[in-house]
């Protein structure tokens, strides 16, 4: 051991070279550790992108994503068509209701007579009228097409149609 120390003291160049090599080795170890961390991060990202697909090529993943996107687009078009059909059905649904109660005969008691209009957006539907008298009640039903009927409409029936057309579907318009 003594010989080595003496050789080192006599030739300081070797000592400086060893110190430089140790520093270089330390730098290499630090650099490898940094690359290892970076590689771990890249591996996590790779697994996240590739997932559990079993595919090893990024091109295959992109092609699969494109096919999936095309399939979703076709489904969206299908659902858009169904949505349009439902919208048309909703417009045709007789969901607007207007109710008008009134006293049909002035010598009778209270507002026992009524007119009920059940229509859709185009004012197509039916008007039901009940006339209450002292001894009997008469019921009439009149079909509506675009707000008009093939039978004459009374002022009360027209009022019920107006009430129904001012309402949103599913809500009744009552006027007593």
Domain ranges of the chain: 1-52, 54-92, 96-175
Burial class (CB in 10 A: 0-12, 13-18, 19+), 165: middle
Q: Which of 175, 40, 162, 19 is nearest to 96 (CA)?
A: 162
Q: Which band of pLDDT confidence, cut at 50, 70 and 90, is reported for residue 174? A: low
The listed range with the strongest mean pLDDT (21-30, 94-103, 120-129, 135-144) is 21-30
- Has residue 19 got a pLDDT over 80? yes
The stretch 16-41 carries a mean pLDDT of 93
Summary mean pLDDT of the chain: 84
Residue written as token pair 């009022």: 159
pLDDT for position 73: 93
Amino acid 126: pLDDT = 94
């Amino acid at each position: 051991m003594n010989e080595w120390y003496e050789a080192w003291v006599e030739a300081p160049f070797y000592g400086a070279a060893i110190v430089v090599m140790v520093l270089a080795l330390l730098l290499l170890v630090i650099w490898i550790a940094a690359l290892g961390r970076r590689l771990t991060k890249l591996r996590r990202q790779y697994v996240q992108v590739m997932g559990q697909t079993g595919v090893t090529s990024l091109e295959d993943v992109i092609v699969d994503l494109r096919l999936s996107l095309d399939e979703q687009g076709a489904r969206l078009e299908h659902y858009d068509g169904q949505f349009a059909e439902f919208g048309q059905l909703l417009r045709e649904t007789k969901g607007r209701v207007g109710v008008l109660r009134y006293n049909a005969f002035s010598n009778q008691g209270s507002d026992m007579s009524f007119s009920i209009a059940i229509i859709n957006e185009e004012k197509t539907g039916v008007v039901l009228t009940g006339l209450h008298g002292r001894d009997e009640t008469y019921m009439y039903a009149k079909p509506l097409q675009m707000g008009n009927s093939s039978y004459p409409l009374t002022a009360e029936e027209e009022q019920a149609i107006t009430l129904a057309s001012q309402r949103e579907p599913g809500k009744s318009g009552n006027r007593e």
